[in-house]
Amino acid sequence: MIKNDLFLRALKGETVERPPVWMMRQAGRYLPEFMEIKEKYDFFTRCQTPELASEITVQPIRRYGMDAAILFSDILVIPQAMNIEVQMKPNFGPYLPNPIRTQKDVDNVVVPDVTVELDYVYKAIKATKEKLNNEIPLIGFAGSPWTILCYCVQGQGSKTYDKAKKFCFTNPVAAHQMLQKITDTTIAYLKQKVKAGCNAIQVFDSWGGMLSPTDYQEFSWQYIQQIIDALKDETPVIAFGKGCWFALDVMAKSGASALGVDWTCSPKNARYLTGGNITLQGNFDPTRLYSSPEKIKEMVTEMINQFGKDKYIVNLGHGILPDIPLENAKAFIDAVKSYKA
C-alpha cells in the first residue's frame, strides 16, 4: 500500500483534506543535483540508464516532498524505438536528421516490440519504485501521437509546426497511418509501464493547441481517446493538452481520470467547460514562479480556492523553467501542503 495516496484519491474524485501537488518537469533542470549528473552524462544516456533515471526521478521528492513522482524520461524515446533517429543537441533541443515527409518514410517506420526496445524504461520504473519505497505514487507518461508526429515530421522544435501541419493536410492518408503507428506503440509502451509499477499515466499533448478545434479532433484527440480507452481500466489516465481549452468538453467525456489545464484557462472556465465532475490538474503559470515566495503562496492559495480542494491536483500549467530559484519552487509546494480549507 502507498502511504501517501492523496494523489490517487484525488484522481478518484474522493474528498481530501488538501489537494495533492506535483510539478511537471519536477525531475530536472532547475535542481543543482540534477545539473551535476547532466555534466557527466548526455541526455539519452540519462534516460537509458535505469540507475540515473531513477535517481533523477527521486531528487525533487527528497528536496521538496511532492505527493507524486514522475519518471525521468522523454516523450521521444517512442520514435527512437520506432527506428527514427532522435538526437538531443545541447542549447538546441531535439533534432531528427531524417524527418518523416513521404508515404515511403511512413512505410519504413516500425511498430516495435516495446518490451525489447524500451526495456530500459521498465527497469528504471522498478529501480524508482524501490527508492520510493511505497511512500508516494509514480506517474509514467507519453507524448500524444500528434505531438510525437510534430517532432517526427518537423525534425526539431518549432513555434508553428508548419511542416507537420502541411504533411497532415496534403497527405492525410500517410499522416493517419503514422499517427496510428505511434498510437499502437504508445499503448503497448504504457501498458508495460503500468505492469512495471507506474500508478498513473499522463499523456502530454504539448502541441495540440497548434490545431484548430476541427483539426484537433481529427489529428490529435481521436488518437488520445484510443490510448485512454486502452488504459483506463488498468490505471488512472491524465490527459493534458496545452492550449486545448476548446476541447475540454470532449475530453471530460473521454473516460480519463483527470484533465490538465494550462494557465490560459481560468479555474472557473475549466470547471464550467468540463461540467464540474472531473478532477482537474494545473494551472499555475510556470513563469509566475519568478514572483516572490510570499506572492507565490498567495497566488497558489487563491488558485486552490478557485478550483476547490476536491477533484483537484495542484500543478503548473506546463513544465518548470530551468532558472527558477529553489526557494520559489519550495514556496509553491509548501503553499499546498500547508493549505487549510
What are the residues whose beta carbons fall under 8 Å from the beta carbon of 341, sequence distance 6 or more?
18, 309
Consult the annotation and say whether 26 binds a ligand.
Answer: yes
240 annotated ligand binder:
no
User: Is 44 annotated among the ligand-binding residues?
Assistant: yes
CA distance 154 to 164: 5
Residue located via cell numbers 493538452: 241
How is residue 84 written as a grid cell?
527514427
* Residue 164 marked ligand-binding: no
Please state, in angstroms and as integers, the Cα–Cα distance from residue 37 to each residue in 43, 47, 51, 92, 95, following that order: 10, 12, 11, 19, 22
Please answer whether residues 238 and 257 qualify as being in contact, where contact means their C-beta atoms are separated by less than 8 angstroms: yes
Tell whether residue 271 is among the known ligand binding residues.
Answer: no
Q: Are 240 and 279 in contact (CB under 8 A)?
A: no
Annotated ligand binding at 27? The verdict is yes
* Cα 25 from Cα 3, distance rounded (Å): 23
Q: What is the Rg, in whole angstroms, of the alpha carbon atoms belonging to the chain?
A: 19
For residue 127 the three cell numbers come to 529501480
Q: Which amino acid is at 147?
A: T
74 is in an annotated binding site: yes
Is residue 151 part of an annotated ligand binding site?
yes
255 in a labelled binding site: no
- The distance of Cα 139 from the centroid of its chain, to the nearest Å, equals 9
Q: Answer yes or no: is 122 a known binding residue.
A: no
Binding site, residues? 25-29, 44, 74, 151, 206, 318
Binding site for substrate, residues? 25-29, 44, 74, 151, 206, 318
